[in-house]
């Protein structure tokens, strides 16, 4: 599969997050803001057009990977908020019982 560069300079070969020859998944080290910003650039590139089918597919696949990274970060943030709210509710309940 042909490689395509995103606007951020990252190269993708369409593999789901894995580099050549079993290299580590670089998406696992991306922060939320990094993944979001790169995803925005991928979408802009796709909307602008002017790429080959292979390049467009590679960009689409990269966008899917980045969306998953963002979703994991958001799910983690939601879990932390839910835990904090549950703890706060438990403390308030204990205070009214005691």
Encode pLDDT of 13-27 as tens digits.
444 444 444 445 667
- The per-residue DSSP string of the chain comes to ---EE-TTS-EE-SSSS--GGG---GGGG--HHHHHHHHHHHHHHHHH----HHHHHHHHHHHHHHHHHHHHHHHHHHHHHHHHHHHHHHHHHHHHH-
Encode pLDDT of 19-70 as tens digits.
444 445 667 799 999 999 999 999 999 999 999 999 999 999 999 999 999 9
Residue 95 CB neighbour total at 10 angstroms: 8
């Amino acid at each position: 599969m042909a490689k395509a560069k995103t606007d951020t300079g990252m190269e993708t070969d369409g593999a789901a997050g894995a580099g050549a020859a079993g290299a580590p998944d670089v998406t696992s080290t991306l922060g939320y803001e990094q993944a979001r910003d790169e995803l925005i650039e991928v979408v802009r590139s796709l909307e602008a057009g002017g790429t080959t089918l292979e390049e467009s597919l590679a960009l689409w696949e990269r966008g899917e990977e980045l969306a998953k990274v963002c979703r994991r970060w958001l799910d983690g943030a939601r879990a932390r908020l839910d835990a904090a709210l549950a703890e706060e509710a438990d403390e308030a309940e204990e205070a009214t019982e005691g």
